[in-house]
Amino acid sequence: MKPTWHILGAGAIGCLFACRIQDLGYNVKLITRRSEKTKQLELLTSSDGTHRDYEFDCIKPGAIESLTNLLICTKAQDVLPALDALKSALHKQSVVVSLNNGLGPQEILNKDLPCHYFAGATSVGANFETKNQLVFAGSGDTFIGQLGSESRPDSVSFPELFTLVNNIEERLWDKLAINCLINPLTGIFKCKNGDLLNNPEAMNVMTELAKEFTSLTVQSGKPQKDYLSMATAVAHKTAENYSSMYRDLQFGRQTEIAHLNGYVVNQSVHLGLMVPVHQEICSRIHALEK
Ligand code: KPL
């Protein structure tokens, strides 16, 4: 029998992974503070129009004694507080994978967790249409790996959806670039990811964001890439998706801007670089959050 995966963060991405991990024959449980014992979901795959029903057991954080496999899909700012209630259930052999957008929590988890930790980056797209109807809006890749390490312990295995890589830092950096170039612009221009590509004003800002991101990359000694092409390719692939930041703003939630463009600003200040467009984007998103 395949092992159990607990999922922390039952938002669109967490629920999408819950469905796909269950499809692979694993037992999946959602960790939630809500009182429901189970969660029903209908998954609609927009590329082929198929519908499928799912049911997951739900468990409250305080009721978990031991965690074997944990997938964290919360917002970046919620990773550390949400994990606090689960730390006592983690042991040396536990496996924790985090898939949050942005950077910041990964380094802390890598240092503090008493178990195997894999940071991850995904480019899949999903949105809730209604409370129980989830739309799988864009296929994408999910890479995971250990920070600062090229090997993995033999005892650790993962659902086949995860591609294990040696250079996860580089993937996280690429993902940071993509989210910095797409997410806030969908919030500011109030549009789907794909609509940015047909909006010259949005594309001008995206180009400036990419230039500043490249300067930071070079200054940090990382391999330089064509971030504009990478972001436009993802916007194209997830054209029908509303980004997570668009959704956060729509529902009056705090966005991940501090871990995206805010992270770029902080790193740049540290290196004596100016990134005025990222700074301006942070201010505009903060204004929209109010
Ligand atoms: O990661 C995303 C997000 O919305 O947070 C993308 C890849 C932009 C898909 O919408």
Give the model's pLDDT for residue 36.
86
Low-confidence ranges of the chain (pLDDT < 70): 150-154
The CATH number fitting domain 171-289, selected from 3.60.150.10, 1.10.1040.10, 1.10.1060.10, 3.20.20.70: 1.10.1040.10
Give the model's pLDDT for residue 29.
97
Per-residue pLDDT reduced to its tens digit, 227-241: 999 999 999 988 888
Query: Which residues have any ligand 1 atom within 6 Å of their CB?
Result: 101, 123, 125, 179, 182-183, 193, 234, 238, 241, 243-244
Are domains 4-166 and 171-289 of this chain identical in fold? no
Cα distance between residue 272 and residue 134, in whole Å: 44
Give the model's pLDDT for residue 196.
98
**Residue of 122, 243, 247 with the most ligand 1 atoms within 8 Å of its CB, for mutation:** 243
Boundaries of every domain in the chain: 4-166, 171-289
Residue 91 alpha carbon to ligand 1 centre in Å: 32
Give the model's pLDDT for residue 150.
62
Give the model's pLDDT for residue 187.
98
DSSP 223: P
Residue 106 near residue 119 (C-beta atoms within 8 A): yes
Protein residue whose Cα sits closest to atom 1 of ligand 1: 123
Please tell me the pTM assigned to this model.
Answer: 0.92
Per-residue pLDDT reduced to its tens digit, 225-276: 999 999 999 999 888 888 999 999 999 999 999 999 999 999 999 999 999 9
Residue 77 near residue 253 (C-beta atoms within 8 A): no
Residue 258 alpha carbon to ligand 1 centre in Å: 16
Cα distance between residue 262 and residue 284, in whole Å: 12
Q: How far apart are the first and last CA of the chain?
A: 49
Residue 5 alpha carbon to ligand 1 centre in Å: 23
The CATH superfamily label for domain 4-166 reads NAD(P)-binding Rossmann-like Domain (3.40.50.720)
Protein residue whose Cα sits closest to atom 7 of ligand 1: 123
Give the model's pLDDT for residue 152.
66
**Beta bridge partners of residue 128, listed in sequence order:** 134
Q: Helix 276-289 crosses helix 261-270 at what angle (to 10 degrees)?
A: 140
Protein residue whose Cα sits closest to atom 9 of ligand 1: 125
Q: Where would I find the H helices in the chain?
A: 12-23, 79-84, 105-112, 168-188, 200-219, 227-237, 244-250, 261-270, 276-289
